[in-house]
Structures are given as C-alpha cells and as structure tokens.
Chains A and B, each alone.
Chain A
Amino acid sequence: MNPLTRFETIVAFRFMREGLTQTLLIVFGVALGAGVIIFMSALLAGLQANVVRRTLNFQAPIEILAPDQVPRSLRDGEPASVAAQIQPRSQQLRSVDQWQKVRADVARVPGVVGVTPVVSGPGFARRGEAIKSVTITGIDIESYFDVISLPEKIVAGRDDVGPLDIIIGIELARDLGMAVGDKVSLTTAGGIASTLTVIGIFDFGNKGVNERSVYVALRTAQSLLDLPGGASSIAVKVHDPFAAETIAEIIRGGNNLQVDSWIRTNAQFFSAMAAQILANTLIRVFVGLTVALGIASVLVVSVVQKAKEIGILRAMGTARAQVLRVFLIQGAFMGLTGALAGALLAWCFLLLWRGVARGPDGTPLFVVVMEPSLFAIACAGATLVGVLSAAIPARRAARLDPAVAIRG
C-alpha cells in the first residue's frame, strides 16, 4: 500500500508544508548535527584504520616467544630460610622449544592466516668507520611475507634474501651511506661477524624501524646469534587484527609459551583509542540531544499553532492514535531528510578533507574511510531521534480536548 495515500501521511506533510520555514530550519539543523557526527566518525575510523595499518606494517599481530626464565625455587625438604629478596634472572636469547611443532599447531587455529619462524637479536652494522646498532631479523622468506608485507615496502632492490644478503631500512642506508649492492659487516655481541651484500632497501614509514631493522636469511641469523636450528619467536598473522588477543588466548591455552598480541604490546595506543571513541560517543550523544530538542521544540510550537485544526480533525472522527501518528511522522521525516542532507554535507567535507589534509610530500595524511554503513546508520539513528523527540508533542496533540481546541 502506498504510504503517501494514508491519512496520517497526507495530514503530516500538509502541516509541514504549511509551516515551511519552520520545517526547513529544523531540517537544516538536523543536517548540521548529522553531518558533524558522520564527518567525525569517518575521520576517527580513518585515523584508527591508519594507525592500525601502520603498526601492523612491521609488527605481527601475534608473537610467540620462549617462556621467560624464572629463578628456581628450593626443593621441598631442603633446610633453608626464605629469601627476603629474589633477584630475577637475566634473559638470554633462547629458541622456542620445538618451534616446528608449535608452528604447525598454530597454523591450524581458526582465524590464523600466516605463521613464520623468526630469529631476532641485537647486533651492529659497520661500514668503514660508521657503526650502528641494529635489530637483526632472520626470516624464512617463503612464509615471512605472508605475515609481514615486506616486499611492498621495498623501495630499492629486491626481497629474496639469500644466505649472504641483507635488506636494510632507508634511514640506516642513509646513515651508513649505502646503496643496493654495497657490503656491510654485521657483528653480534657474541663476536660473530659476517659481511653481507645489501640487496634491498625498505621504507615502513616509521623512522625507528627504518633506522634499526635489518633482514637477513633465517640461517644467517641463526649462526650470527648462535641459535643453530632455532627460532627466537614465531610471528602469526590473523585475519581480524582486533581478534588477535582472543586468538592469542587460544594459543596460550595449548602451550607453555609466552604469546603476545599487538593489542597487549600496544596497550597505550588502545587506551588512547578508547579515550577517543569515548569522546566521539559523548559528542554524538550531545549533538543527538540537541537535534532531538530542536525537533521537539518545533513540534511543540506546531501543536499549539494547530490546536484548532487538531480539534476539528478529532471532531470529524479522527482517532487519538491517528493524531499521534501525524506528529510522529513529522518527527521521523524531519530526522530522515535532515540526516540525508547531513550525509551529503559530510560527504562533501570528507572529499574536501581528502584534498586539503596532505603531508608535505603531497600524499594524504591518512585515508578517510567513507563506509556506506556509517551513512545508513546515521540516517536510521536520526529518524529514530526524530520519532522519539516527536513523542512528547505528539502525545500532547493526541490528548487535546476537541471541544476546548475548537473553541480556541
């Protein structure tokens, strides 16, 4: 049935057309409110996605490490007094016990899309007189690129790192004055050294990483860090980065291993994000409240202005529920059209933002997400706010005493 031929819709639209200035003003008000909410939400979502993307560029969502070594307690029955202070043990670089088995087990966990062994430890990169401390990461190229998209970040050279090759960051290359094809000497604290050829230079867009990380083949790292056949950690990629902690929990359950998710290791970022989400929610609530009060006040005035007409409608057999719906429809319509106009407004601002918010090099500061679902939710929300805010005036209208209303 065509809703436009319904009694309530016909009367509601005619009432709104009669008070066109009022209607337009409030629709404009709703549009501004909805526009602000959509714009802010899209911006926040973009910011969030951007930080997540940048963080997970060079960090695996889940990292499995050998458990920390702890001081052993005294055996039962040994005569001794209780120590007042226990000195924690220093942690030496160790391999994840039976990492091949762990790797195979973890690969079967639902949600896991990539698993790779990593040998990682400190070292020095030396070229001539220049020495830089670096983090050596030994990678198995076949599986590592499933977890970290290093190939996409290579700005010069290639990524298939062999036993005598090394991939370095763009900052380190600058510091040591190196280019693809140059030789660099890599030394570890254990005194083992190796001279490697730079085959690639990467840029993760993060100065610290670009300065400190170097990638070598797994075997090269194993011998440099004196961890033959071992893997100091296992990097795991999951389908949904925000489910990382849940999946980490599952992995933790099956092993005596230390399993860190990026959600834990970046707790600060997540608490900042939570604060931002809270602030955004508060703004949404207050903007929503302002919109609701605007719609309600316009309709309250409209009920007073139309009291006589409502009285006439009631006298000619219009039910209370019908009068109620006439005003609820007005609220819903004002909310919906306002939100649609607001969505358009926000869309324009977001396009403008894309054009304006650019870094010094001309690339966008971050990609603003324009999710259609955000617009749909905003429109549905505004319609609901419209109906809810129309409830009080609508009830007043429905309860008007027709005899009194007609007498004016």
Chain B
Amino acid sequence: MPSVPTLRLEGVSKSYGVGTPVEAEVLHGIDLTLQKGEFAALIGPSGSGKSTLLNLIGLLDKPNAGRLYIAGEEAGSLDEMSLTKLRGRAIGFVFQYHHLLPAFTALENVMMPMLAARGKLDHAMHETAAGLLARVGLTPWRDHKASDISGGQQQRVAIARALAMNPALVLADEPSGNLDTENGDAVFDLMRDVNATSGTTFLIVTHDPRLARRCDRIVELVDGRITSDRPNLDVRQRD
C-alpha cells in the first residue's frame, strides 16, 4: 500500500480581490504531490505566485478552489483552531529574513513552537530545543538573544525552530537569500542533512539556480501555473 503523501494539491486556485473590479487569479489549478522524504525546489520568476503557493501550503491562507492535503488531512474541511493546530504540528517554516523573536534567546526561539502547542514550559521541550541547537552547531550561542547573533546563525536557529515539532513538511522561503555564499551553502547543507537523517520533507522556494540544482526535484512555476516538474538527475546520480 502506498504511503500517504506529505503534501497533495488538487486543482488549487487562488484569486485576490474577489468580487472587485481588480480581481486577479494568481494561481491556476495547481496539482502537486510531495512524498515523504522528498527535497524539492520551487523556482520561478518574481510574481509567478511562489509566495502565494507557499502561504497556501503553509496554511497561512486559503485557496479559492481545489483541495489541499497535509499528511492526508484535507485542510479545507478544518476550522480555524484545527488549522492552527495542524500548522503547528505538521509544518515548519524557514523564512528569508530569519524572523526570529528578537526578545527571546536562541534556545527560547526554538522552544517557542512546543511552548505554544503544549501551553506551558516543561523540561522535555528544553532538552529537545537544546538538542536541535546542538545539531545546527549553535550550542555556544543558545543563551544569546536572537538579535545578537549573526545572520547565518539566525537562519540556523530558524531551521532548528522549524524542526522543533518534528514536522512532516518544512517550507523554506529563500532560506539563503539573505546570506553570503558560504553561510548560504552551510544552511543548505544543514537542511539536506536533516532531510537525509530524519526523512523530513522539504519544499524550498529559491531564485538561485545553483541551489535548485542541489535539490532532488525542481518544480517551476510561471504565471501561476506549473510549467515543469522534473526530478533532478544530477543530484540523484551524485548521491
């Protein structure tokens, strides 16, 4: 029996300004499936609808048409509360601008998704967060304020935070877009490593063809439509 795909989109469309004279459909009938453990890149020119698609997949926005399944659960049938819970449990975000909470330390930032889900602090989440920070090589900085560490370190904290709830899917929006090549590569390597060791599914939005070539699968979005979706044989063969 085939396992349930981590992500499945069936005919997903998204329009803005519905009912107004400036109504515009940004995504047109997107079909996309990601199996568990895939490491896929989503590429496309600016304005092609990548961020919109990422918001839909991340359950931050709702499609106007079509169905969206996260780990087998149909998101359209869920109410606000269940959607929030599903988002917290199944999806991790890594944003371009790190988006850590500046008032909290690196460790607290990593603990935050667990704290939000469980409601109160406990020792186990402290351990988990410390373990994740060790994994991204930031143990010496764990008690530094998020605003007091470098950009590359912040992005690594963001990755640790995205993994805190052991999600099925990590969505990364230009994860290295704001970093120099060396740091960008290190962050990318880290994500590949997590993917290889934990089997976490990754969907990475990027402008950078060099990074896209290092993913297993490349999905290209142009004008709100998927124009190409192919396995990246270079990587497969190299691995």
Contact = CB atoms under 8 A, between A and B. Distances in A.
B116 A320 contact: no
A317 B120 contact: no
A15 B104 CA distance: 10
B97 to A, nearest CB: 9
B130 interface: no
A317 B55 contact: no
A178 interface: no
Interface of B: 51, 55, 58, 60-61, 80-81, 84-85, 87-89, 93, 95, 99-104, 112-113, 115-122, 161, 165
Nearest to A309: B101
Contacts of B120: 1-2, 5-7
B89 A317 contact: yes
A6 B121 CA distance: 6
A407 B54 CA distance: 12
Contacts of A395: none
Contact of B84 (A317, A401, A407): A317
A316 B116 contact: yes
B134 to A, nearest CB: 21
A12 B120 CA distance: 13
Contact of B116 (A1, A15, A317, A407): A317
Given A312-B101, A403-B60, A406-B99, A10 B121 contact: yes
Contacts of B102: 18, 309
25 contacts: A2-B120, A5-B121, A5-B122, A7-B115, A7-B121, A14-B104, A15-B103, A18-B102, A309-B103, A312-B100, A315-B58, A315-B60, A316-B87, A316-B93, A317-B85, A317-B89, A317-B113, A319-B81, A322-B116, A401-B60, A401-B61, A402-B60, A403-B55, A406-B95, A407-B51
B116 A14 contact: no
A308 interface: yes
Given A6-B120, A407-B51, 10 more contacts: A5-B122, A18-B103, A312-B100, A316-B87, A316-B161, A317-B89, A317-B165, A318-B116, A401-B61, A403-B61
Nearest to B104: A14
Interface in A1-35: 1-2, 5-7, 10, 14-15, 17-18
Interface of A: 1-2, 5-7, 10, 14-15, 17-18, 308-309, 312-320, 322, 401-403, 406-407
A318 B84 contact: yes
A400 to B, nearest CB: 11
Given A402-B60, A406-B95, A317 B117 contact: yes
A6 B116 CA distance: 9
A15, A313, A317: most-surrounded residue (chain B CB, <10 A)? A317
A376 B122 CA distance: 34
Contacts of A1: 120
Given A1-B120, A7-B115, A10-B121, A320 B99 contact: no
B99 A7 contact: no
A139 B99 CA distance: 87
A317 B81 contact: no
A318 B119 CA distance: 10
Q: Is the interface of A mostly helix, strand, loop or mixed?
A: helix
Contacts, number: 76
Nearest to B90: A317
Contacts of A314: 60, 84
B51, B93, B101, B102: most-surrounded residue (chain A CB, <10 A)? B101
Contact of A14 (B61, B103, B113): B103
Nearest to A19: B103
Nearest to A321: B81
Nearest to A7: B115
B61, B85, B113, B116: most-surrounded residue (chain A CB, <10 A)? B116
Contacts of B122: 5
Contacts of A2: 120
B237 to A, nearest CB: 36
Contacts of B61: 401, 403
Nearest to B100: A312
A18 B103 CA distance: 6
A14 B101 CA distance: 10
B103 A17 contact: yes
A307 to B, nearest CB: 12
Contacts of A10: 115, 121
Contact of B88 (A14, A309, A312, A316): A316
B60, B88, B102, B121: most-surrounded residue (chain A CB, <10 A)? B60
Contacts of A309: 101-103
Nearest to B95: A406
A15 B101 CA distance: 10
A7 B119 contact: yes
Nearest to A313: B116
A1, A18, A316, A320: most-surrounded residue (chain B CB, <10 A)? A316
A385 to B, nearest CB: 26
Contacts of B100: 312
Nearest to A316: B113
B80 A320 contact: yes
A17 B145 CA distance: 13
Q: Which 7 A-B pairs have the closest CB atoms?
A: A317-B88, A5-B121, A403-B60, A316-B113, A318-B116, A18-B103, A403-B55
B102, B112, B117: most-surrounded residue (chain A CB, <10 A)? B112
Contacts of B103: 14-15, 17-18, 309
Given A14-B104, A403-B55, A320 B84 contact: yes
B21 to A, nearest CB: 22
Contacts of A308: 99
B87 A317 contact: yes
Nearest to A314: B84
Contacts of B85: 317, 319
Contacts of B84: 314, 317-320
Nearest to B52: A403
